[in-house]
């Protein structure tokens, strides 16, 4: 494959889905896979922070690979023959995230209040990943109302936002940073 840094094919406000169908750049499919791509970029920023362990990086590597699969599903022309070549997520992928959440939660203090994002840079980036993930999930559901979307993709995004919430708390716990809890009477 040539190193192409520009194609000029999007200059008129259209882009191609996997399979070749041309759609507007504001199409719900483009918004959905673009948001998943944005989340993956923020995961890359989190990945590169000091204090992110090798074990955490392994999980983030797995997550980014699964997100590319979801992006492919969201970017797919459902009538394309290429669809058969794209991998699928499995319930085991969701279970993997749940296991990682459980491992961290075992060490965390009980959650007694809403947590206001912040505390340290790693926790803040994890919260950014969580919120972008929530947006990707919402856009995935919007997409599913119009196009066939594998429910496991949406379940994975839902669980992934939970993972990033717990990871943010875990970073604070490891760095001995007090959580900033919401006080409803302020």
d(CA 20, CA 81): 11
Is residue 172's pLDDT more than 80? yes
| Confidence (pLDDT) at 179 | 67
- For residues 75 and 15, which has the higher predicted lDDT (pLDDT)? 75
d(CA 37, CA 11): 21
Helix H or strand E segment including 12: none
The domains of the chain are located at: 28-180
Q: Classify domain 28-180 at the CATH topology level.
A: Hypothetical Protein Ta1238; Chain: A; (1.20.1200)
DSSP 181: E
d(CA 147, CA 139): 12
Q: How far from 40 is each of 69, 79, 82, 167, 180, CA to CA, in Å?
A: 12, 27, 23, 16, 26
On whether the CB atoms of residues 73 and 13 are closer than 8 A, the answer is: no
pLDDT digits (tens, 9 = 90+) for 63-110: 999 999 999 888 877 767 666 678 899 999 999 999 999 999 999 877
How many beta carbons lie within 10 A of that of residue 2, not counting itself? Answer: 4
How many beta carbons lie within 10 A of that of residue 72, not counting itself? Answer: 18
pLDDT digits (tens, 9 = 90+) for 156-171: 999 999 999 999 999 9
DSSP 149: -
The predicted model scores a pTM of 0.86
Which residues make Cβ contacts (< 8 Å) with residue 13, sequence separation at least 6? 24, 25
Per-residue pLDDT band for 173 (boundaries 50, 70, 90) equals confident
On whether the CB atoms of residues 20 and 110 are closer than 8 A, the answer is: no
Q: How far from 117 is each of 27, 42, 80, 84, 139, CA to CA, in Å?
A: 31, 15, 42, 41, 23
As a whole number, the mean pLDDT across the chain is 85
Range with top average pLDDT, 23-32, 67-76, 78-87, 126-135: 126-135
């Amino acid at each position: 494959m040539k190193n192409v840094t520009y194609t000029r094919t999007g200059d008129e406000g259209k882009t191609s889905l996997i399979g070749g169908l041309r759609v507007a750049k504001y199409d719900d499919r483009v918004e959905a896979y673009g948001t998943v791509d944005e989340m993956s970029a923020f995961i890359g920023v989190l990945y590169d922070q000091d204090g992110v362990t090798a074990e955490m990086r392994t999980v983030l590597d797995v997550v980014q690979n699964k997100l590319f699969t979801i992006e492919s599903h969201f970017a797919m022309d459902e009538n394309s023959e290429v669809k058969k070549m794209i991998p699928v997520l499995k319930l085991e992928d969701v279970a993997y995230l749940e296991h990682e959440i459980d491992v961290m939660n075992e060490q965390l203090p009980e959650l007694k209040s809403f947590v206001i994002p912040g505390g340290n840079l790693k926790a803040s980036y994890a919260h950014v990943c969580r919120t972008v993930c929530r947006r990707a999930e919402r856009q995935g559901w919007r997409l599913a109302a119009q196009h066939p979307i594998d429910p496991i993709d949406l379940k994975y995004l839902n669980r992934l936002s939970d993972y990033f919430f717990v990871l943010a708390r875990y970073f604070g716990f490891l760095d001995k940073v007090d959580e900033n809890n919401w006080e409803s009477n302020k």
